[in-house]
Chains A and B, each alone.
Chain A
Amino acid sequence: MKRYRLALLALLPAAASAQPGVTTALLDSYLSAARAETPGLKAFSPQRGQELFLARHGEMSCASCHTDNPKATGKHVKTAKVIEPLAPAANPERLSDPAKVEKWFKRNCNDVLQRACTPREKGDFLAWLVSIR
């Protein structure tokens, strides 16, 4: 990261942007839970995370509302309400509130997959999301 951007990052109020510590803690907690279900799991896979995001289930995929590019602004498929970008690289507020992350996993996995996402799926997806520059 360029030095001036690093300096700017230091000025951002802690609550508004994803602090690296919060994101790491979030991923760690999903990794612990994922390993409990899949012993021997080494690491999350951004590749699998992207595939999960793009996979169609009937008419719906995550991309239906969020577009296939997490840096882009999305639009709710029914109401056309604007949805801010998912990638922290485009929207520094993302992943700053673990409760909010969990809430939206619960709602949207239910909408798209008709079930909860497993900790592994959540971790894979987040690993992909944070890898996007």
Chain B
Amino acid sequence: MYLLPFLALFLAGGSLADERRHLPIPPAKEYQQECGACHIPYPARMLPPESWRKLMRELDQHFATDATISARETREITDYLVKRAADPRKHGAAPLRITETARFRHEHDEIGRSVIQRPAIKSLANCQACHPRAEQANFDEHEIRIPR
């Protein structure tokens, strides 16, 4: 009888390990407010520090828009992102798009172009189309629903 809890833990261990590897940490309020209005607040861990530094230095040319914020906010958000960024040793280059990282490509390599072009999705930048809790930095693979 007392083996049951251990058995349950053992069986749950697989999914628990996934959660532990990438515990979803909801984005900080300031980051959410300043960088989560036009797109979801992309998690800091998805790009290496140099990517974030470059993006934050060039906010006036932020993917065809001027996304500048105050100097104080720029400093604070850069620090926030760099502190939580991906390990630069695991990233050769420092792309400005998460979709260009090796990790992202690997995770999405089975998704065909025709799927991405569905009106409900439109773009790989639209994480929340298939990842319902993307805004809270939660990409749990068990929650993925690809719309038709």
Contacts and interface: CB of A to CB of B under 8 A. Distances in A.
B126 A79 contact: yes
Given A107-B65, A110-B66, A111-B65, A78 B37 contact: no
B123 interface: yes
A78 B63 CA distance: 10
B102 interface: no
B51 interface: no
B65 A80 contact: no
A107 B128 contact: no
A79 B67 CA distance: 15
Contacts, number: 31
Contact of A80 (B66, B67, B129): B129
A57 interface: no
A17 B9 CA distance: 47
B37 A81 contact: yes
B55 interface: no
27 contacts: A76-B38, A76-B39, A78-B63, A78-B125, A79-B39, A79-B123, A79-B125, A79-B126, A80-B121, A80-B122, A80-B123, A80-B126, A80-B128, A80-B129, A81-B37, A81-B38, A81-B39, A81-B40, A81-B126, A81-B128, A83-B37, A107-B65, A107-B67, A110-B65, A110-B66, A111-B65, A111-B66
